[in-house]
Structure formats: structure tokens, C-alpha cells
Amino acid sequence: MDMKKTIIGLLAMTTCALAHATVIHFDDLSGDESLPIDAGYAGFNWDNMGTVSAAAYPGSGFEAGAVSQSNVAYNWYGNPATITKADGNAWEYTGAWFTSAWVDQEISFEGWRNGQLLFASSAFTLDTTAPRWIQLDWAGIDTLVVYNSSPTAWAMDEFTVPEPGSLALMGVSLAGLMTARRRRKA
């Protein structure tokens, strides 16, 4: 019995160690602020979003918000932005770094699935001096909408989603642990 527990425990730890997230940095894009982010980029559609080089506006939130190397994504003309999976499937949104580009503002989020609102966040305050990690961990959405309180842009970097394969491995591992626990109690 102890050997089975050890093997199951090792399997669970290995699976969790293999599980990791996909982080979208936007640094492989041109940073030309006049171009939209292409539909399908990194497996997502980015409505009302572009990228800008962090160095394009020294002293701005675009510069301060670059957590990765050179570019940040932003919402065009300070309007709400919508992110959907390019294949139309549901997905899980973990979080991202956000900074206000020009003036302090608040942003909020909604998570939708098949036209039904599943999640709505409270408001998060952003300033122009440092990025803020906003983690939501929303699963089963097909649309993420980011709203802002003022008609100004925000910068986003390191958009993070779990890898589907890692989620499946973790699920199999957890199912195995639950089965082992049931057998032990019986």
C-alpha cells in the first residue's frame, strides 16, 4: 500500500511540475501602433487591440508597462477590447500585467461563454508608473472583455493562459489520486 501511495504521489508531482502556462509577450510583433494585432496571433483574436514599442513614448505607461522586452499590447483609442480564442473553443484566462498609458484609470473584466455572462470583476486601479498583475483564473470562457473607466489606453503584457495539455495531465493525475483515496477508504 505504501508503494502505491509513493508512485501516485510521484505521478502527481511530476504532472504538476510539467504543467505550465503559455505567456504571450507580444515582442515578436512589429510594435507599429498603427497596425492591429492579427486575428489568430498566438491562437487568439484581438479585437480593438494593437501593439506599441515600449520605447515609443518615454515616461508613459507604455514604457513602464513593458514587463517583457520591447512591446506591449494596448486598446485602440481607449475603447474596450475583446479577446477570443481563434478556434472558437472555450479557454481559461489566468492573468496579465496592466498599466495605464497616460492617466490613472480603472479597468474591469467580463468573461462570456456562448453569449452568457459567466464572470464579472470589480474595478482594478491602474497608474502610469508601474505594471499591476491582475489574475482572474476564469475557466470555460470563450470571450474576455476588458473595459476602462476613461477613454484612454492601457498597456498589457505577458497575457497568460494555461496550456491545454498541462490541464489535461493535471486532471488525469487528480483523478488517479481520487481513485487511490477511494480504494484506501474501502
Q: Classify strands 132-141 and 91-100 as parallel, antiparallel or unpaired.
A: antiparallel
Residues 72 and 85 in one domain: yes
Q: Are residues 89 and 50 in the same domain?
A: yes
Quick one: pLDDT at residue 51?
Answer: 98
- Let me know whether 141 and 114 are in one domain: yes
Q: What confidence score (pLDDT) does residue 17 get?
A: 40
User: Do 63 and 136 fall into the same domain?
Assistant: yes
Is the same domain home to 97 and 76?
yes
* Domain of residue 123, CATH code: 2.60.120
Same domain, residue pair 37 and 110: yes
- Does one domain contain both 40 and 129? yes
pLDDT digits (tens, 9 = 90+) for 147-176: 999 899 999 999 999 986 544 444 445 445
Cell of 31: 510594435
87 and 16 fall within a common domain: no
Q: Are both 88 and 7 inside the same structural domain?
A: no
* Residue ranges making up the domain that contains 132: 25-162
Are 4 and 86 contained in the same domain? no
- Pair (173, 154) in one structural domain: no
pLDDT of residue 27: 97
Please give the pLDDT value at position 55. Answer: 96
User: Do 132 and 186 belong to one domain?
Assistant: no
Q: Check residue 182 and give its pLDDT.
A: 53
Q: What is the pLDDT of residue 69?
A: 86
Q: What is the pTM of this model?
A: 0.80
- How many domains does the chain fold into? 2
The parts of the chain modelled with pLDDT lower than 70 are 1-19, 164-186
Strand pairing class (154-162; 71-75): antiparallel
